[in-house]
Amino acid sequence: MGQDYYAVLELGRGASDGDIKEAYRVLALRNHPLKCKEPWAPERFRQLAEAYDVLSDPRKKGVYDKFGEEGLKGGVPLEFGTENSWSDGYVFHNNPYKVFKDFFGGDNPFAEFFTKDGSEPNMAFGGLRGRGARKQDPPIERELYLALEDLFYGCTKKIKISRRVMNEDGQSTSIRDKILTIDVQPGWKQGTRITFEKEGDQGPNIIPADITFVVHEKPHPRFKRAGDDLIYVATIPLVKALVGCAVAVRTLDGRLLNIPVNDVVHPAYCKVVPTEGMPLPQAPARRGDLVIRFDVVFPKQLTPHKKKLLKMALLG
């Protein structure tokens, strides 16, 4: 059995054109997804639009009244024409918002909601405030991986996103690409958040989500970051740990530092080189420190003679 369009509009079969229009007006406003937040509202809104689309058109209504939904959609024999000639079947365009907009025209009480940029709706229409108010989609987070050099110098990153945007009709949407530009500032740290407001998917009944990029530092072959400082691990043999040495460090900006180490390098020892670390985010002209830690390589074996010499040198 086919769909009963009269029952959808809560009407009897003898309903007049005026009854059909009034029923659609009341029910479409009551069940519009912007006002009714029940999960079944979009489907109910679509059914109302299809029922009104059929019953408000004299030709479609005439076929439906005589042959039902099956005849309307499957086609019926033409009363006048060649043998085996059938009418084209009815297909609903499946855009209930178009039916709604065409019905209300310039007096559409929901016109304020169909903003192309997805901004906050104007809650001027009575009954829409509160329960019917649109809520913004939750924020979208994306990871932004940056090299330590990017965070040292600063840079500009252009990121292409694909999102759903409103079309000119104010109801349908399409997928389009957009380039977002991030100006990375010297000294930004892991966890820095960059938010682009309302750059998420648009729609006639949603406020687009904010898109937030969260900075993640890529591993570096020479340095590890600790706040505003840079940690460098120098591998030296035991003899240099005891008698002193110079450590060569290539900086992020390409300079070669030769740092003298005259102290005895014990397990907890580190050498601090001031102002050779990362730029400070609040004052990029200032920098943190370079902290050199040591991995001391012990000999795998010693000859008896070397042991004797070491004992004499260390024990006196």
Reported as a single tens digit per residue, the pLDDT across 217-245 is 999 999 999 999 999 999 999 999 999 99
CATH fold of 223-315 reads: HSP40/DNAj peptide-binding domain (2.60.260)
| CATH number of 5-108, picked from 3.40.50.720, 1.10.287.110, 3.30.1490.20, 1.20.120.160 | 1.10.287.110
Reported as a single tens digit per residue, the pLDDT across 37-93 is 888 889 999 999 999 999 998 888 888 888 888 878 877 665 544 455 556 678 888
CATH fold match for the domains 5-108 and 140-217: no
**CB-based burial label for 165 (10 Å; 0-12, 13-18, 19+):** middle
In this predicted structure, what is the pLDDT of residue 183? 96
The domain limits of the chain are 5-108, 140-217, 223-315
Question: Is the pTM higher than 0.95?
Answer: no
CATH H-level superfamily of 140-217: Urease metallochaperone UreE, N-terminal domain (2.60.260.20)
Q: What is the mean pLDDT of residues 262-276?
A: 95
